[in-house]
């Protein structure tokens, strides 16, 4: 009998919109064609998933892969290798490269570089600036664009729109959700003197919670005025969580594994490895972010994978750059939180696939459902592993979690039906493709 399915993922515990249960997944032409009990005789290939959980492919909607311009830290190939090694099937990459991704040409250049060189599927955020505010509506709809990203506080690179007028000009020209790095640049400038040479624990003193909250309040005001939808990246304070819960119709929320895991106490051991923007803060902020997650205020998890070399990180604070790797550790760190009882596996799935699908309107991804791309993150919830710098595929080759033992591990990354990573091995040549979005689907005749 001719086989019906190219491949069947068999015997795993599938977690999707129907709950958590043992089901087989049959794939034809890269898409999910059947879910249920499938006769193995109908399978061209069988992937044995017994003892494993099969999750919708994890979407990381905030990574910095540094290409073009800073390939000594990372490039699209190495960054995406880290993604698939860590169970991530799709990334949205950030525009603070050199040149900045702020025009049609720079976006098309990234897509050209990425197609079939990246290991996972991808979209690129386009930077909103004073110079391109009139064009953002066109830019946000280009093929492969995730939407517009604004930096209101300066971080790595030259993207910056600190003023209400500039932000309003952009928001009034967009119709897709706009991602924002929300720290009040004016307050950051005022407080620069509070940085203590050689002491990264002064980072959250300089870039304090007021800078984050004040900016988020300004932004929500502008969103209400313009009717725009905003996406607050890496929310880092308890106060913002409290504020946003009253303004959810305008603002969606990203939280990061690092803000849920570390506190300012960890600067003592991790030093500049822990330095990022917005900063890792006092324990009550971590608790407030968990509260926001438990209460449903948080919509997605993003890693803010922002690699810098260890040599750069070894410069004395504040000459050390802000950012840490994270795309490869997002799944194991969060599964460890699942095993510790801090969130359910269903909530993890909500944050890493259903959430991005809901916010960004991704076409054909984000669900284990018939007709969707067969993107799967296959995990062993019981497996204990110790995360080490030498496991990290990033060109920067380090992680703030070096030496941390976790329970729960990604054992398979499946993208459009192809096993890309299995048991820690890269099993398929790179075949990354740009995403399509519902709000920008090309019209066909």
Site for ligand DOR in 293-322 (CB under 6 A): 306, 322
Tell how strand 425-426 and strand 376-386 pair up.
Answer: unpaired
**272 touches ligand DOR (CB under 6 A):** no
Enumerate the β-bridge partners of residue 45: 7
336's tokens: 């460890």
Pairing type for strands 19-28 and 5-16 reads antiparallel
Nearer to ligand DOR, 325 or 353 (CB): 325
CB of 400 to ligand DOR, least distance (A): 12
| In the complex, minimum distance from the CB of residue 127 to ligand DOR, in angstroms, rounded to a whole number | 12
Q: Rounded to whole angstroms, how far apart are CA atoms 212 and 225?
A: 20
In the complex, least distance from residue 73 CB atom to ligand DOR, rounded to whole angstroms: 9
For 93, phi and psi rounded to 5 degrees? -100, 150
Backbone Cα Rg of the chain: 21
The closest alpha carbon to 160, from 95, 244, 249, belongs to 95
Residues of this chain, 31-50, that bind ligand DOR according to CB under 6 A: none
The encoded tokens of residue 28 equal: 């034809």
Comparing CA positions, the residue from 126, 108, 233 lying closest to residue 181 is 233
Q: Which is nearer to ligand DOR, 87 or 302 (CB)?
A: 302
Q: Judged by CB, which is closer to ligand DOR: 129, or 322? A: 322
Q: 421 phi and psi, to 5 degrees? A: -125, 135
Q: What's the CA gap between 440 and 174, in Å, rounded? A: 12
Beta carbon of residue 155, minimum distance to ligand DOR (angstroms, whole number): 4
> Which of 439, 442, 434 is closest to 176 using CA atoms?
439
Q: Cβ 377 to ligand DOR, closest distance in Å?
A: 25
Q: Is 64 in the site for ligand DOR (CB under 6 A)?
A: yes
Select from 219, 241, 276, 435 the one that contacts ligand DOR (CB under 6 A).
276
Binding mask 214-233 for ligand DOR (x = CB under 6 A): --------------------
If binding is defined by CB under 6 A, does position 325 make contact with ligand DOR? no
Beta carbon nearer to ligand DOR, 15 or 276: 276
Report the candidate in 247, 230, 237, 329 with the shortest Cα–Cα distance to residue 291: 237
Residues touching ligand DOR: how many (CB under 6 A)?
10
- CA separation for the pair 235, 91 (Å, rounded): 19
Map residues 117-156 to x or -, x wherever contact with ligand DOR holds by CB under 6 A: --------------------------------------xx
**Residue with tokens 């407080």, as numbered in its chain:** 191
Residue from 57, 147, 302, 323 touching ligand DOR (CB under 6 A): that is 323
* 3-class state of residue 285 by DSSP: helix
Nearest to ligand DOR of 15, 260 (CB atom): 260
Burial class (CB within 10 angstroms; exposed 0-12, middle 13-18, buried 19+) of 324: buried
Q: Which residues are CB-contacts of 410 (< 8 A; sequence separation ≥ 6)? A: 86, 87, 331, 332, 335, 377, 378, 379, 421
Instruction: Closer to ligand DOR by CB, 27 or 170: give it.
Output: 170
Instruction: Give the nearest distance from C-beta 210 to ligand DOR in angstroms.
Output: 18
- Residues 154-173, one symbol each (x = binds ligand DOR by CB under 6 A, - = not), give -xx-----------------
**Minimum distance of ligand DOR from residue 204's CB (angstroms):** 12
3-class secondary structure, 186: helix
DSSP single-letter state for residue 434: B
Within the chain, what is the greatest distance between any pair of CA atoms?
A: 75
- The correct pick among 252, 277, 303, 394 for binding ligand DOR (CB under 6 A) is 277
Catalytic machinery residues: 304
Residue 26 or 321: the one with the smaller Cβ distance to ligand DOR is 321
Q: Which of 96, 174, 325, 399 binds ligand DOR (CB under 6 A)?
A: 96
Question: Smallest distance, Å, CB 277 to ligand DOR?
Answer: 4
**Strand ranges (DSSP E) for 79-194?**
88-93, 121-127, 145-151, 178-181
Residues that bind ligand DOR (CB under 6 A): 64, 96, 155-156, 181, 276-277, 306, 322-323
């Amino acid at each position: 009998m001719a086989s019906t399915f190219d491949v069947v993922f068999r015997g795993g515990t599938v977690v999707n919109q129907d709950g958590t249960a043992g089901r087989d997944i049959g794939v034809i032409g890269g898409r999910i064609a059947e879910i249920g009990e499938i006769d193995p005789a109908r399978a061209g290939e069988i992937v044995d998933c017994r003892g494993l959980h099969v999750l919708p492919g994890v979407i990381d909607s905030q990574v910095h892969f540094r290409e073009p311009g800073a390939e000594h830290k990372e490039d699209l190939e190495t960054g995406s290798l880290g993604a698939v090694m860590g169970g991530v099937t799709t990334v949205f990459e950030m525009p603070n490269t050199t040149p900045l991704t702020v025009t049609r040409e720079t976006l098309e250049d990234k897509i050209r570089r990425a197609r079939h060189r990246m290991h996972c599927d991808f979209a690129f955020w386009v930077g909103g600036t004073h110079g391109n505010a009139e064009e953002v509506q066109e830019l946000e709809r280009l093929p492969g664009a995730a939407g517009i990203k604004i930096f209101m506080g300066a971080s790595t690179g030259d993207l910056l729109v600190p003023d209400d007028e500039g932000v309003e000009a952009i928001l009034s020209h967009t119709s897709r959700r706009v991602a924002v790095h929300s720290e009040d640049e004016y307050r950051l400038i005022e407080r620069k003197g509070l940085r203590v040479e050689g002491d990264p624990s002064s980072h959250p003193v300089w870039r304090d919670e007021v800078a984050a909250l004040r900016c988020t309040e300004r932004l929500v005001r502008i969103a209400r005025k313009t009717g725009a939808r905003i996406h607050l990246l890496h929310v880092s304070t308890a106060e913002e969580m409290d504020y946003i819960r009253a303004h959810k119709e305008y603002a969606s929320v990203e939280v990061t594994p690092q803000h849920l895991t570390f506190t300012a106490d960890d600067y003592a051991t991790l030093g500049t490895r822990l330095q990022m923007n917005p900063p890792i803060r006092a324990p009550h902020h971590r608790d407030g972010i968990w509260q926001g997650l438990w209460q449903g205020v948080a919509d997605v998890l993003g890693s803010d994978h922002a690699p810098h070399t260890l040599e750069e990180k070894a410069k004395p604070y504040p000459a050390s750059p802000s950012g840490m790797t994270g795309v490869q550790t997002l799944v194991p760190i969060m599964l460890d939180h699942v095993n510790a009882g801090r969130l359910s596996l269903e909530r993890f799935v909500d944050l890493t696939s259903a959430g991005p699908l809901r916010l960004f309107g991704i076409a054909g991804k984000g669900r284990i459902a018939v007709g969707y791309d067969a993107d799967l993150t296959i995990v062993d919830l019981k497996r204990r592993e110790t995360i080490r710098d030498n496991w990290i595929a990033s060109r920067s080759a380090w992680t703030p979690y070096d030496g941390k033992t976790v329970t729960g591990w990604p054992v398979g990354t499946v993208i459009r039906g192809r096993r890309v990573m299995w048991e820690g091995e890269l099993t398929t040549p790179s075949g990354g493709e740009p995403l399509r979005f519902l709000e920008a689907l090309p019209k066909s005749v």
